[in-house]
Structure 1
Amino acid sequence: MSRTSSPPGAAARRRRLTTLRGALATLAALLFGGASLPSAPSAEAAPAQPAAAVAVHLDPGYQQAPFEGWGTALAWFANVTGGWPEAQRNRLADALYGADGLGFTIARYNIGGGDSPETAPYMRAGAAVPGHWKRPGPETPDWWDPADPAHWDPYADAHQRWWLRAAKARGADTFEAFSNSPPYFMTRSGLVSGTADPRQDNLRPGQYERFAAYLAGAVRRVQHSTGVTFDSVSPVNEPATSYWRAGGGQEGSHWEPSSQAAMIKALRTELDREGLETPIAAMDETDPDLFRANWDSYDSETRSALGRLNTHTYGTGGRTGVRDIAKGTRTPLWMSEVDLGGSVPQSFTDMRPALDLADRITDDLTRLEPRAWVMWQAVEDYENMTPAHENSNWGLIQTDFTPADAAHEPLRRNKKYWAMAQYSRFVRPGSRVITTDDPDTLAAVRPGGQGAVVVHTNSTGAYRTIDLDLSAFQALSPAPVQRYTTDPAHNLQRGADIPVAGRRLTVSLAPQSVTTLVIPGASGVDARKAGPSAEPRLLVNDHSGLALTAVTAGHGDTLVQRPAHGPDPAQRWTLTRTAPGDWSSTASYRVTNAGSGKVLAVAEGRLTLLPPGPAEARQWMLSTSGDGHHTLVNAETGMLLDVTGASTADGAEVGVYRPNTGRNQSWRIAAPS
């Protein structure tokens, strides 16, 4: 949630279905967007000179874990709007969590640290989230005692609590509590915004147990007062960054990796002491690369204390590494916070911020494989976004956080709101994202496996025709396909239904558009077309271009890389699902060498060949984003098939190593030539 003018930030999302057309669509944009819409071609018009169709293959044979939902952090906007007049705050809650809104099902509640009452206000509007402590008398050193009820305010932060109840009343069923900073009296600086040196931890030494007691106590009290149950609690936020400086505009705290580990273990101990089974989520790092660097430093006790992994994607490098860490440890993973301000000035009609958001969602879901996708604050401060200030497009809805009349303050939906709706309205909890071979296309099978959803982003200024190959589904009925489009002239506009021709679907898409296709007749998986092939294949390393080769020596088998030679049985491998019909992205495979009949395995930390057997050390999970490249994750150790030292030399050893996103851990499954 690093919302400063230069480092990355966080925020928004939503969805709403409308069938208004023509003048009514324009009127809705004027009412919700605060600006007139530019003229644009109809979303259903055909291009005058269509370009060659973009072929897109859908593979239901690679299904991610059931999706848990979409959501937002509450934090600043809830701290403001939770105290607004009832009708107005309900309009906002309907827009985000209502059945006719975005249909969010996840809310992240911010446990505020809280500055001293003597500290003059210095944070941006809404960012001073109240703490849960109460100081009944004059301050003395280490005055706060978590065991003393007089030192707690059991009903603090009423505005965010209103939002928890409002979200739950509208169907939200997943809640997380997260912290950005300890209370001021536990910090080095005496402020909840960080230290003078942003590379220094702000929690004072010796305060870990007290802060753990604060978080556990706040969780228990908020649950009691709101009726929600927190599914997780996250004790640190973007911890290893250098964003958090004393006097900054928001709460934040630096944590060295060793401090993160100490805090996680202290919190687990305190939750257990309080009788709270709430899982701990961590470490909510700003990007996957930094997440992985923190994770690599954690000891086994710290890792085992975590019930979920959280990462933000303000930076996008290293997503596949975090994906494979989650698979290897069998720990659920969330993309728990992101937003994009966009590359253009504040606008409620420009599609470019919406297209950027759609690209991020599609990339995150296909490359990271998170079970949930959560925005930073979905409602942003309109005044702060104006040209006089940030001149940007944070949030899905913008409204003034310091209005003259909150009851009549406009709730301004931008195009990002409608782009978010293209996903959140249709890819519902229980859906399973599947792979496609097109980076602009997200696809999922619907809950229960009946029907499919495709969301395609056309960021170009021209029409685009896509040709969807649906042949990998086991069944495809002739039920017509529904189409919904957001483009410069339309907001989630339903178009004419589209017939399916055989096992293909050809659709023309408007310029600068996000289009959702609902394919109700698609179901099942055609095992003959679900990869990988049952025929022997080569495993070719993406970094070296050389093939995995088994070498049999007098004292055992070794694995090396050699120039690809298709007829060589030492290079031919058969990948067989250990559980036929398991189409999940965590399905296990035996990788059998054609020359020896032995299987690829890990023994005593070393890659080797062993006789076939049921042990997980002899099994591998395949990870892919649908681009033809794979990592192989050992089912027992979580280690990846890896060319040692990223060597490109003929004969270099192939072993296993922790996920590092290097191309030496990426492989093509190629047919022997």
Structure 2
Amino acid sequence: MTNLLKIAAAVAVIGSVANPASAQYTATVNAKTQYQTFEGFGTTLSWWANGVGSWSDPTRSALVDALFAPPPTGLGLTYARYNIGGGDCPCHNTILYPHAVPGYQLQLNGAFDWNADANQRWVAQRAYANGAVFLEAQSNSPPWWMTVSGSSTGSADATSSNMSDAYTGTGANSFPRYLATVVGHFASSYGLTFRHIEATNEPDTSWWKFGSTKQEGAAVTPAQQGVIVQSLASLLPSFSPLTTVASMDSYNIDNGVSIFAGYSAETKAAMTEINTHSYAGSKRSQLASAAAAAGKRLVMSEWGSAETTGKSLSQQLTKDIRELKPLAWAIWQPDWPTLMTIDYTSHSYTINKNYYIYANYTRYIKPGAVFIDINDGNSLAAYDGNANTLTIVTTNWTANTVPVTYALSNFTSLGASAQGYRTSSTQNVANIGSVAVSGGSMVASLPPNSVTTWVVTGANYTPPATSTNDSSFTYSTSNCGATWCSGNQTGAYSGQNHWSSLVGSTYSLTFTGTQARVYGSRASNQGIAAFSVDNGAETDVDLYAATRTDNTLTYATPTLPPGTHTIKVRVTGLKNSHATSVIVQADRIDVVN
């Protein structure tokens, strides 16, 4: 069993799950048991951005900012998925507005129309400027002339593959080349570099039927998916070298488990991320284990619902993050699960209860926070070691008021109180004041049908550790030749550090222990760094900050099985829209025994 498989097996067990009733119960938060470092919450841009992007300001800007701007203006979403349209044959034209996302190449051997899809592109650029630094691209269907039915709406029987085998390779008019060309143009012309491209949205379903008015869609066989994944991976270095391949966006988590297991070794090697939807299926821990064992990132890329109270949203989000352990979690679109009601005719929108339920999570569990153990199936706990903040979000969807004691164990120190924010039938992320933290615990009361967020500042988790200076790290080639550049730096550990902005350059440390805690700098010239353990899946962390800080915690590995491990940090070449460079600095790593 590999180290990553051991990690997956360890984190799959969260502990006993409390079931709140009207009686008092205790939820124990354990800072010592740590899981994934989170990259953030998000949304896809299908289809709403195609409509909203055509509106005039200030309304369209206000709607996008309500989602992506930092609090208190918006939800602070950091993950956005751009829908690369296939485009249907004008001879059909059945998809309703705004679901008909334009394609960029409308016919075989046709020129690319880079004026197409200006509406969605405007939204993507506004989202990125607001802080949606983790961008992905996805496709619902190949262009109509690459399909079996001659339409991007689906196949004639809705079950057969609508992807023509003739276009799955790397040829001049292939589907992978179409996608690679689009993401390359976005990077070079629009300043939008996609971290990943996912070619097959819900290929495992049976409702992509020819003539549908709903949207583009295509069933694609696992064998075809494999060819597309490998072809994309071979093309991207020439078109968009910072973009890698994700697959397979299954509607059903269980299908995703079996499809990934059936991929060839070559297909698995060609992809860096598993994307899944969580509408159906129950094998969350199995998919998490499969991703960890294969060294692949895992993202929950889509979920939505018509339910309006926020109950389904909060319960789904909590279950997915506890059991699936994704690096990011995204809704389908803001009007599904009804965060907003969007009137595409009158160019107006209203905010609904689901928006505030989502805000209870997105505004307080920030990118870079680490999910930690809490033995309550209705709660999430996240620790931000950079800001020394503990965030707990608990749902109570019963008809009773529930008293709860939070036992906060293994923290080195805690603030004197926890600030509360609540959404209920009468409250919208309301400031409800604070409760005292004393003797390592706090007592609160949760009203019926509510979601409550508690934020404890001054929370520290600093277990006994051995510090290693950057002079002892192993470096790859960088801007300065055979090793990383180095020099004195005020505020750095031991007064000096190493740095690189060369894409792909790395530093690493092999250690014996149960956790590595990486310290470095955050500054206006810092980019996005990728962290990995034992050559496993990478986690991206945005190191940009308007004001420079040094010798600050940037990443903590999950709690690892005792033994020898290697932590590696890579310069991705990606950055926040406000950053002036893509520099990553090496300073100090603390090893917890």
Q: Does 1:490 align with 2:427?
A: yes
Q: CA deviation at 1:364?
A: 0.6
SS at match of 1:481: strand
| Contact 1:472–1:525, Cα closer than 8 Å, also in 2 | no
Deviations 1:52-100 (A, max 9, x none): 3121011122222321111110011000110001211011011101122
SS of match in other structure, 1:399: strand
- Contact 1:240–1:254 at 8 Å: present in 2 too? yes
Q: Does 1:221 align with 2:185?
A: yes
Match of 1:88 in 2: 59
CA apart distance, 1:273: 3.9
| Alignment partners' CA distance in 1, 2:254 and 2:140 | 20
Which of 116, 119, 125 aligns to 1:156? It is 116
Q: Is the 8 A contact 1:111 1:131 kept in 2?
A: yes
Gaps of 5+ in 1: 1-49, 136-142, 146-150, 381-393, 529-576, 591-613, 617-673
Structure-to-structure mapping, 1:568-647, within 5 angstroms: 578-582=512-516, 584-585=557-558, 587-589=560-562
Partner of residue 101, structure 1: 74
Q: Distance in 1 between matches of 2:226 and 2:419?
A: 49
* 1:75-224 correspondence to structure 2 within 5 Å: 75-99=46-70, 100-119=73-92, 121-135=93-107, 143-144=108-109, 151-209=111-169, 210-224=174-188
1:439 correspondence with 2:339: no
Q: Distance in 2 between matches of 1:502 and 1:316?
A: 41
Question: What is the one-letter code of the residue matched to 1:290?
Answer: N
8 Å CA contact 2:415–2:456 kept in 1: the answer is: no
Task: Measure, in 1, the Cα distance between the counterparts of 2:100 and 2:409.
Answer: 54
Equivalences for residues 281-320 of structure 1 within 5 A: 281-320=246-285
Pairwise CA distance, 1:523:
1.6
Match of residue 243, structure 1, among 189, 202, 207: 207
Superposition deviation, residue 134 in structure 1? 4.5
Structure 1 counterpart of 2:197, one-letter code: V
- More divergent stretch after superposition (306-315 vs 267-276): 267-276
Q: Which residue of 1 aligns with 2:287?
A: 322
Distance 2:86 2:106 in 1: 12
Checking the alignment, whether the CA contact within 8 Å between 2:515 and 2:558 is kept in structure 1 is: no
Which structure 2 residues correspond to residues 442-521 of structure 1 after superposition, within 5 A? Answer: 442-448=380-386, 450-478=388-416, 480-521=417-458
In structure 1, what is the equivalent of residue 574 of structure 2?
Answer: none
Q: Which residue of 1 aligns with 2:588?
A: none
Equivalent position SS for 1:224: helix
Gaps of 5+ in 2: 1-20, 466-510, 517-555, 567-593
Question: Greater share of strand residues, 1 or 2?
Answer: 2
CA shift for structure 1 position 271: 1.5
Tell me, in whole angstroms, the C-alpha distance in 1 between the residues paired with 2:235 and 2:137. Answer: 15
What is the match of residue 339 of structure 2? Answer: 396
Q: 1:51 to 1:169 in 2, by over 3 A?
A: same
Deviation readout 1:18-66 (Å, 9 max, x if unpaired): xxxxxxxxxxxxxxxxxxxxxxxxxxxxxxxx94312101112222232
Does the aligned pair in 1 maintain the 2:515–2:560 contact within 8 Å?
A: no
Q: CA deviation at 1:125?
A: 2.9
Tell me: CA distance 1:232–1:160, structure 2 relative to 1, closer, same or farther (3 Å).
same
Q: Which of residues 303, 311, 331 in structure 2 aligns to 1:355?
A: 311
Q: Distance in 2 between matches of 1:254 and 1:399?
A: 29
Structure 1 Cα separation of the partners of residues 221 and 385 of structure 2? 41
8 Å contact kept, 1:164–1:226: no
Letter in 1 for 2:66: A
Aligned to 1:259: 224
Moved more, 304-313 or 269-278: 269-278
Which of the numbers 43, 57, 69 marks the counterpart of 2:28?
Answer: 57
Whether the 8 Å contact between 2:512 and 2:565 is mirrored in structure 1 is no
Superposed displacement of residue 225, structure 1: 3.6
Residue pair 2:82, 2:137 contacting (<8 A) in 1 also: yes
- Is the alpha carbon distance of 1:584 and 1:271 closer, same or farther for their aligned partners in structure 2, counting shifts above 3 Å? closer
Cα deviation, 1:378-409, whole Å, max 9, x if unaligned, reads 135xxxxxxxxxxxxx33111122x1x32xx2
Distance of aligned partners of 1:615 and 1:94 in 2 relative to their CA distance in 1, 3 Å threshold: closer
- In 2, Cα distance between the equivalents of 1:177 and 1:311? 14
Q: Compared with structure 1, are the counterparts of its residues 74 and 266 closer, same or farther at alpha carbon in structure 2 (3 Å cutoff)? A: same
Q: CA separation in 1, counterparts of 2:565 and 2:365? A: 36
Larger radius of gyration: 1
Q: Structure 1 residues 255, 586: CA separation in 2 closer, same or farther (over 3 Å shift)?
A: farther
Structure 2 CA distance for aligned equivalents of residues 503 and 129 of structure 1: 53
Give 3-state SS (helix, strand or coil) of 1:244's partner. Answer: coil
Contact 1:61 1:584 in 2 (8 A): no
Q: In structure 2, what is the equivalent of residue 646 of structure 1?
A: none
Shift of 1:252: 0.7
SS at match of 2:444: strand
| Inter-partner Cα distance in structure 2 for 1:487 and 1:180 | 36
User: Aligned partners of 2:240, 2:182: CA distance in 1, in Å?
Assistant: 14
Following the alignment from structure 2 to structure 1, what is the Cα–Cα distance between the partners of residues 296 and 32?
22
Deviations 1:588-624 (A, max 9, x none): 336xxxxxxxxxxxxxxxxxxxxxxx699xxxxxxxx
| Equivalent position amino acid for 2:227 in 1 | A
**2-structure distance, mates of 1:117, 1:472:** 63
The 1-side partners of 2:297 and 2:351 are apart by 32
Q: Report if the CA contact (8 A) 1:113-1:181 is conserved.
A: yes
Query: Per the alignment, in what secondary structure is the counterpart of residue 286 of structure 1?
Result: strand
**What letter matches 1:515 in structure 2?**
T
| 1:170-201 residue CA offsets vs partner (Å, 9 max, x unmatched) | 12211101001000001110110110122211
2:356 aligns to what?
A: 418
Q: Tell me by how many angstroms 1:274 deviates.
A: 3.0
Change in Cα spacing, 1:472 to 1:266, as seen in structure 2 (3 Å) is same
In 2 relative to 1, CA 337–275 (structure 1 residues): closer, same or farther, beyond 3 Å?
A: closer
Q: Which amino acid aligns with 2:369?
A: S
Distance in 1 between residues matched to 2:32 and 2:286, nearest whole Å: 22
| Paired residues of 2:35 and 2:372 also in contact (CA < 8 A) | yes
Cα distance, 1:493–1:183 mapped onto 2, change above 3 Å:
same
Superposed displacement of residue 220, structure 1? 1.5
Measure the CA separation in 1 of the matches of 2:81 and 2:246.
Answer: 12
Distance change (3 Å), C-alpha of 1:185 and 1:85: same
Q: Percent identity?
A: 34
- 1:234: which partner in 2? 198
The normalised TM-score by structure 1 is 0.65
Q: 1:272 aligns with which of 237, 245, 252?
A: 237
Q: 1:365 aligns with which of 321, 340, 343?
A: 321
What SS does the aligned partner of 2:86 have?
A: coil
Q: Normalising by structure 2, report the TM-score.
A: 0.74
Take 2:338 and 2:151, find their aligned partners in 1: how far apart are those partners?
A: 27
- Residue pair 2:385, 2:461 contacting (<8 A) in 1 also: no
Match of 1:537 in 2: none
